[in-house]
Chain A
Amino acid sequence: MTAWFQSTFLGVELGWFVATLILILMIALPLMLAVAMIIYADRKIWAAMALRRGPNVVGPFGLLQSFADGLKVFLQETIIPSGANKILFLIAPIITFTVAQMAWAVIPFGSQQVLADINVGLLYILAISSLGVYGVVISGWASNSKYPFFSALRAAAQMISYEVSIGFVLISVVLMADSFNLSAIVLAQKGHVFGLINGFGFNPMLLPMAVVFLISAMAETARTPFDLTEAESELVAGYQTEYSSMSFALFWLGEYANVILMCALNAVLFWGGWLPPIDWAPLYAVPGMIWFFLKIGFFFFVFSWVKATVPRYRYDQLMRLGWKIFLPLSLFWVFLVSGYLMLTRYGA
């Protein structure tokens, strides 16, 4: 598509620019639609687990509930507290929302179907996801209110702690795949176990890391059991307490976009991304994107399932899990995986 645009009157550079803009919209708009549907799915899944019906009034089966909610917040008044730092108060939700979408640039949806096929894709994801904390911290500070501030401090400590172990988990994946490029990581998983099963997660060597990554992803996106940043019994609504209407909605959308991103990363890093689960020719007839979306859907179900089942952690338990269990475990696993690779792949 880029080549076609470059061949028109736009020329090489402007053509590239227009084509990239269109590609970005092709990812961002379906992503927002997916967020709306996944909020609906989330509410339906909790409802089912609590033996309730969930949203069932707006549209068939309540499918349009998220859009109704969106319209509602859109029509509300934006209230800015008089003591708040006005500019930062309004910038914070924009940061959260933008950062949540930026990371999607390097996610491969199928073979060759990726916006930016860069060498350092995984590092880019790590860099962008480390920015997510700023939206929360700035909103907590700019609100000039106690509970948002507590929440911001909690969020900063929590995200930094879990990023460390996520980093080590990613390193063990990179060692196995021998690349930082996400497409190359997906391709390295082809027939990884017995030359038959696609996915690092099916390798007993990397399965514990897949579990650590899943749990750390929940902590990183501040989902229940780790949603201490918005623990309503302690902090009212956490960093969102002072927000209303669209500025609140941007936080909400950004949060869910981040959750989907983490589900997608789980699929890409450990469960074969757009490859079918088994390396068998007829399964490749199904488009890669379908497999990828199925995996994202499965991991989202796991996220909701955990949210509906597990009670919230205490803050000291959260920190202990991050620093005293996951960090040593993932660090040891980096040694283990590199030692194994030295013995088998590099023949030392």
Chain B
Amino acid sequence: MMQIIAFYLFAAVLIASGALTILARNPVHSVLWLILAFFNAAGLMLLLGAEFIAMLLVIVYVGAVAVLFLFVVMMLDVDFAALRSGFVRYLPFGALLAVVLAAEMLFAVGSWQAGGVQLAGRIAPVHSAASNIQQIGELLYTRYIFLFEAAGIILLVAMIGAIVLTNRPRSGVRRQNVAAQNARRPKDATRLVNQPVGQGVEL
């Protein structure tokens, strides 16, 4: 009972916040609805018994990616009226994408329904004494080790690419040299004088 209530709660809020992500007028509100959607998706994964994936979703997407989204969107001055003006022009393309997606979903659900696997066996997590993390780790680092490392290399290449693309060497920049600043002692910068009264200070 509790699980069913939780499922419908998460699912309803997820769909609603997903819809509001694209319907909200203000881009910052869109990002906030997106964060709510991530959260509810994590909740659904918890219900499936995939607690590791749920936590990763929150840590990676909510904790890092969405913060950067919010960061960028808050800084940008997006004119939404201008963005919406192209709505009719892009409508056929959008509709095509929607049809393709809907067809794929139908196929997926159809093949799933046609399969001989019991419904209970598909939804329930793998029953084993080992925890979620251990099972994923054992699979990732043995059977899928090459795919895993390939993913790592792709991410590395993407990271280096982003740095190279955005790095503009500028000349004439005055940088802080922290080592020199730390090495500076009071005697390098100050002078203790016992100035006689009535004479000017030598600067």
Contact = CB atoms under 8 A, between A and B. Distances in A.
Interface of A: 13, 16-17, 88, 118-120, 123-124, 126-127, 130-131, 133-134, 137-138, 141, 149, 152-153, 156, 160, 163, 180, 316-317, 320
Interface residues of B, number: 25
Contacts of A131: 58, 62-63
Contacts of A137: 67, 70-71, 74
Contacts of B51: 118-120
A141 B178 CA distance: 32
A130 B62 contact: yes
Chain B CB within 10 A, most for which of A131, A138, A149, A153 = A131
Contacts of B58: 127, 130-131
A151 to B, nearest CB: 12
| Prevailing SS type, chain B contact patch | helix
A331 to B, nearest CB: 14
Interface of B: 1-2, 28, 32, 35, 51-52, 55-56, 58-59, 62-64, 67-68, 70-71, 74-75, 131-133, 176, 178
A134 B68 CA distance: 11
Contacts of A160: 64, 67-68
Contact of B55 (A120, A133, A149, A316): A120
Most buried by A among B1, B67, B133, B178: B67
Nearest to B74: A141
Nearest to A164: B64
A123 B52 contact: yes
B35 A124 contact: no
B2 A13 contact: yes
Given A141-B74, A163-B63, A180-B133, A123 B28 contact: no
Contacts of B63: 126-127, 130-131, 133, 163
A124 B54 CA distance: 9
A141 B28 contact: yes
Best-buried of A134, A316, A320 by chain B (most CB within 10 Å): A134
Given A119-B133, A126-B59, A137-B71, 8 more contacts: A120-B132, A130-B63, A130-B67, A131-B62, A149-B74, A153-B74, A160-B67, A316-B176
